[in-house]
Amino acid sequence: MKKRMFIKTAMTAAAALAMGVASMGAYAQSFSERTLRLGIQNPKGHPAEVGAQKFADLVGEKTGGKIKVRVFAGGVLGGDQQTVSALQGGTIEMTALNSGILASHVPALGVYDLPFLFNNSDEVDAVVDGPFGQKLHARLEEKGIVALGYWELGFRNLTNNVRPINKVEDIAGLKLRVIPNPINLDWVQALGANPVALAFPEVFNALEQRAVDGQENPVTVILANKFAEVQKHLALTRHQYNPQSMIISKKVWDTFSADEKKVFQDAAKEAIAHQRKVSREQSETALEALKKAGMQVTELPPEEVAKLREKMKPVIEKHSATVGADVVTELQAELAKLRTK
């Protein structure tokens, strides 16, 4: 009797296992063998590269190795605009880049480049992960781009090789590299400096050869790209915050099965949480590392920050017309709501 019960139990377990294996096999069949390229501008070890690699690992795990994502760091696939054009054509599959750069395709995304919007990371997360941020990303689809979420580049600060910046007037006359878009050109001009639009892979050489005096980026970018080797002064202005859009070619996305799309969405969500955590941890240590590397760090007093904000008002007013006055109003309302909680 016991023997028969044992045999019956064993047969039931074997059948269940077989059904499980068959089910897994059927699920695995919904994944096509493919390799995708994910290009980013920053080098290995930067939070953007860490996030990209985390995403690649998760996709590999979730598809049993059937779908591979290869990460190309350091701008080796080209500058941001070049990469986006290739992505729209389907010749490069994925990238992550400052959301404001996509304003040439969806003007409303330029709202993220307006200076002095966010006070802290909590405000950022609430806005980009909420209805406002998702609505802006949804507009990319008609441009051949699918957004999977927002990474973080962080709050931007000024560096230069001419003089320390202790007051707003110290910025005047400096030749500063900026991300190539109208908002950045205008806010630099509003401070009496001379903007030079350059693709990111060109920045180090331009600084080294003194073609420009300085640039502006988060401290993690300044450290990872060794700008301390060619820049002496760092001013903690925190004048802009850059979310980064993690995007995939719609031509590629439309070839995915429902299961493949879910894997990419789930992997993106996990990778985004990891990437932001790494970004914020690295920001805390990057500043000390830059000081040790010899950079002289200054921080503007509150009255100088107030002067900076005042000088930015005409820039915000001018570009609200391009970005969309309704978009700017909606974002300001979201921030006001957060600040009263």
Domain that holds residue 265: 33-153+243-285
Residue 20 in domain: no
Q: Is the domain of 89 the same as that of 139?
A: yes
Residues 6 or more apart whose CB falls under 8 angstroms from that of 223 comprise 282, 286, 289, 290, 293
Q: Is the domain of 161 the same as that of 144?
A: no
List the CATH number of the domain containing 323. Answer: 3.40.190.170
CB-based contact 235:91 (threshold 8 Å): no
Residue 24 in domain: no
Q: Is the domain of 214 the same as that of 332?
A: yes
pTM for the predicted model, two decimal places? 0.84
Q: Is the domain of 91 the same as that of 178?
A: no
| Number of domains, the chain | 2
Q: Is the domain of 77 the same as that of 119?
A: yes
Residue 99 in domain: yes
CB-based contact 203:225 (threshold 8 Å): yes
Out of 253, 270, 285, a domain closes at 285
User: Tell me, what's the pLDDT at 274?
Assistant: 98
Q: Is 238 helix (H, G, I), strand (E, B) or coil?
A: coil
Q: Is the domain of 190 the same as that of 61?
A: no
Residue 71 in domain: yes
Residue 111 in domain: yes
Q: Is the domain of 66 the same as that of 118?
A: yes
Angle between helices 325-339 and 302-323 (to 10 degrees): 140
Instruction: Give CA torsion, residues 192, 193, 195, 196, to 10 deg.
Output: 150
Q: Is the domain of 144 the same as that of 254?
A: yes
CB-based contact 99:124 (threshold 8 Å): no
CB atoms under 10 Å from CB of 200, counted, come to 22
- φ, ψ dihedrals at 248, nearest 5°: -135, 150
User: Tell me, what's the pLDDT at 341?
Assistant: 78
Q: Is the domain of 70 the same as that of 90?
A: yes
Q: Is the domain of 94 the same as that of 137?
A: yes
Q: Is the domain of 136 the same as that of 251?
A: yes
Residue 65 in domain: yes
Residue 334 in domain: yes
Instruction: Give CA torsion, residues 59, 65, 69, 72, to 10 deg.
Output: 120
Residue 60 in domain: yes
- φ, ψ dihedrals at 332, nearest 5°: -60, -35
CA distance 92 to 106: 20
CA distance 75 to 200: 8
Q: Is the domain of 129 the same as that of 263?
A: yes
Mean pLDDT of the residues in the chain: 91
DSSP 8-state class, residue 171:
G
Tens of pLDDT along the chain (341 residues)? Answer: 444 544 444 445 444 444 444 434 444 558 999 999 999 999 999 999 999 999 999 999 999 999 999 999 999 999 898 999 999 999 999 999 999 999 999 999 999 999 999 999 999 999 999 999 999 999 999 999 999 999 999 999 999 999 999 999 999 999 999 988 889 999 999 999 999 999 899 999 999 999 999 999 999 999 999 999 999 999 999 999 999 999 999 999 999 999 999 999 999 999 999 999 999 999 999 999 999 999 999 999 999 999 999 999 999 999 999 999 999 999 999 999 999 97
